[in-house]
Protein backbone atom coordinates (compact mmCIF):
# COMPACT_ATOMS: atom_id res chain seq x y z
CA UNK A 1 0.00 0.00 0.00
CA UNK A 2 1.00 3.63 -0.42
CA UNK A 3 -0.54 7.03 0.10
CA UNK A 4 -2.12 8.32 -3.10
CA UNK A 5 -3.02 11.95 -2.38
CA UNK A 6 -4.75 14.23 0.10
CA UNK A 7 -8.09 15.89 -0.64
CA UNK A 8 -8.48 19.46 0.62
CA UNK A 9 -11.84 21.21 0.80
CA UNK A 10 -11.45 24.77 -0.50
CA UNK A 11 -13.75 27.79 -0.25
CA UNK A 12 -12.69 29.56 -3.44
CA UNK A 13 -11.41 27.33 -6.23
CA UNK A 14 -9.76 30.19 -8.19
CA UNK A 15 -7.91 31.67 -5.17
CA UNK A 16 -6.84 28.24 -3.93
CA UNK A 17 -5.60 27.16 -7.36
CA UNK A 18 -3.58 30.40 -7.70
CA UNK A 19 -2.03 29.78 -4.27
CA UNK A 20 -1.06 26.15 -4.94
CA UNK A 21 0.30 27.05 -8.38
CA UNK A 22 2.41 29.80 -6.73
CA UNK A 23 3.92 27.14 -4.46
CA UNK A 24 4.76 25.10 -7.56
CA UNK A 25 1.89 22.65 -8.00
CA UNK A 26 0.69 21.90 -11.54
CA UNK A 27 -2.83 20.98 -12.60
CA UNK A 28 -3.00 17.41 -13.87
CA UNK A 29 -6.73 17.50 -14.58
CA UNK A 30 -10.22 18.27 -13.25
CA UNK A 31 -13.45 16.40 -12.64
CA UNK A 32 -16.07 19.18 -12.63
CA UNK A 33 -19.14 17.44 -11.23
CA UNK A 34 -18.88 14.72 -8.61
CA UNK A 35 -21.01 13.94 -5.56
CA UNK A 36 -18.42 15.73 -3.39
CA UNK A 37 -17.86 18.74 -5.66
CA UNK A 38 -15.49 20.01 -8.36
CA UNK A 39 -12.14 18.19 -8.13
CA UNK A 40 -8.82 19.65 -9.29
CA UNK A 41 -5.88 17.22 -9.27
CA UNK A 42 -2.41 18.66 -8.60
CA UNK A 43 1.18 17.46 -8.48
CA UNK A 44 4.58 19.03 -8.01
CA UNK A 45 7.00 18.97 -10.97
CA UNK A 46 9.18 16.23 -9.43
CA UNK A 47 6.18 14.06 -8.46
CA UNK A 48 5.16 11.29 -10.79
CA UNK A 49 1.58 11.20 -9.54
CA UNK A 50 -1.19 13.45 -8.22
CA UNK A 51 -0.51 14.32 -4.57
CA UNK A 52 -3.18 16.97 -3.80
CA UNK A 53 -6.85 17.11 -4.77
CA UNK A 54 -8.68 20.42 -4.31
CA UNK A 55 -12.36 19.76 -3.55
CA UNK A 56 -14.74 22.68 -4.11
CA UNK A 57 -18.47 22.70 -3.39
CA UNK A 58 -21.02 25.24 -2.18
CA UNK A 59 -20.54 24.38 1.51
CA UNK A 60 -18.22 26.67 3.48
CA UNK A 61 -14.97 25.20 4.72
CA UNK A 62 -14.92 24.99 8.51
CA UNK A 63 -11.43 25.36 9.92
CA UNK A 64 -10.37 22.38 11.94
CA UNK A 65 -12.30 19.91 9.84
CA UNK A 66 -9.68 19.49 7.16
CA UNK A 67 -5.97 18.82 7.84
CA UNK A 68 -3.13 19.98 10.09
CA UNK A 69 -0.63 20.77 7.33
CA UNK A 70 0.96 19.65 4.08
CA UNK A 71 4.71 19.40 3.66
CA UNK A 72 6.51 20.41 0.46
CA UNK A 73 10.23 19.91 -0.21
CA UNK A 74 11.99 22.95 -1.70
CA UNK A 75 15.49 23.21 -3.14
CA UNK A 76 16.22 26.67 -1.74
CA UNK A 77 14.22 28.18 1.11
CA UNK A 78 15.45 31.70 0.34
CA UNK A 79 14.55 31.46 -3.36
CA UNK A 80 11.16 29.90 -2.59
CA UNK A 81 10.22 32.55 -0.01
CA UNK A 82 11.35 35.30 -2.37
CA UNK A 83 9.26 33.88 -5.22
CA UNK A 84 6.21 33.51 -2.97
CA UNK A 85 6.63 37.05 -1.60
CA UNK A 86 6.61 38.38 -5.16
CA UNK A 87 3.12 36.87 -5.45
CA UNK A 88 1.93 38.31 -2.14
CA UNK A 89 2.42 35.12 -0.08
CA UNK A 90 4.30 35.74 3.17
CA UNK A 91 5.50 33.23 5.78
CA UNK A 92 3.04 32.48 8.57
CA UNK A 93 5.43 33.05 11.46
CA UNK A 94 9.17 32.69 11.80
CA UNK A 95 11.05 29.94 10.02
CA UNK A 96 13.43 27.49 11.66
CA UNK A 97 16.92 26.28 10.85
CA UNK A 98 18.50 23.38 12.73
CA UNK A 99 22.20 22.95 13.43
CA UNK A 100 22.46 20.33 10.66
CA UNK A 101 21.05 22.72 8.02
CA UNK A 102 17.40 21.62 7.91
CA UNK A 103 15.28 24.70 7.11
CA UNK A 104 11.52 24.98 7.56
CA UNK A 105 8.93 27.71 7.11
CA UNK A 106 5.14 27.83 6.98
CA UNK A 107 2.76 29.64 4.64
CA UNK A 108 -1.04 29.52 4.75
CA UNK A 109 -3.40 28.86 1.85
CA UNK A 110 -6.54 30.97 1.27
CA UNK A 111 -8.51 28.73 3.67
CA UNK A 112 -5.89 29.07 6.42
CA UNK A 113 -4.30 25.61 6.02
CA UNK A 114 -0.62 25.56 6.84
CA UNK A 115 1.87 24.42 4.22
CA UNK A 116 5.28 23.54 5.65
CA UNK A 117 8.19 24.21 3.32
CA UNK A 118 11.25 22.03 3.98
CA UNK A 119 14.78 22.40 2.64
CA UNK A 120 16.77 19.29 3.53
CA UNK A 121 20.44 19.67 4.44
CA UNK A 122 22.97 18.66 1.78
CA UNK A 123 23.15 14.89 1.34
CA UNK A 124 19.76 14.20 2.95
CA UNK A 125 17.37 11.74 1.33
CA UNK A 126 14.51 13.24 -0.72
CA UNK A 127 11.97 12.34 1.95
CA UNK A 128 11.62 11.72 5.67
CA UNK A 129 12.95 8.42 6.95
CA UNK A 130 13.23 6.72 10.35
CA UNK A 131 16.70 8.32 10.66
CA UNK A 132 14.97 11.73 11.00
CA UNK A 133 12.94 10.63 14.00
CA UNK A 134 13.85 9.90 17.61
CA UNK A 135 14.14 6.20 18.44
CA UNK A 136 10.86 4.57 19.42
CA UNK A 137 10.55 3.64 23.07
CA UNK A 138 7.98 0.91 22.46
CA UNK A 139 5.14 0.04 20.11
CA UNK A 140 2.53 1.79 22.25
CA UNK A 141 3.82 5.23 21.16
CA UNK A 142 2.35 5.27 17.83
44 vs 23: CA distance, rounded Å: 9
Positive or negative torsion for Cα 69, 71, 77, 83: negative
Confidence check: pLDDT of 10 > 70? yes
What are the extents of the domains in the chain? 6-60+68-131
Contact in structure between 28 and 42 (CB atoms under 8 Å)? yes
Q: Is the pLDDT of residue 129 over 90?
A: no
pTM of the model: 0.72
Report residue 23's pLDDT band, with 50, 70 and 90 as the boundaries.
very high
Q: Give, as one character, the DSSP assignment of residue 14.
A: H
* Angle formed by the axes of helices 13-23 and 77-85, nearest 10°: 150
Per-residue pLDDT tens digits for 59-113: 777 765 566 678 888 999 999 999 999 999 999 888 889 888 889 999 999 988 8
Q: How far apart are CA 51 and CA 63, in angstroms?
A: 21
For position 63, what pLDDT does the model report?
Answer: 67
- The secondary structure of residue 142, as a DSSP letter, is -
Compute and round to an integer the Cα radius of gyration of the chain.
16
Distance of CA 142 to the CA centre of its chain: 23
More confident residue, 71 or 133: 71
- pLDDT band of 28, cuts 50, 70, 90: very high
For residues 21-42, average pLDDT: 90
Provide mean pLDDT across the span 41-62.
86
| CATH classification (class only), 6-60+68-131 | alpha beta
Which candidate, 9, 7, 6, places its Cα nearest to that of 110?
9
Pairwise CA distance, residues 53 & 63, whole Å:
17
Residue-averaged pLDDT of the chain: 85
Amino acid sequence: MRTLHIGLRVTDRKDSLAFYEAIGYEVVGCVPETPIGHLTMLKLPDDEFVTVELVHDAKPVVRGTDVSHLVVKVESMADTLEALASQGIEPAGPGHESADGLKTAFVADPDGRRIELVQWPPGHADGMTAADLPPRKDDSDG
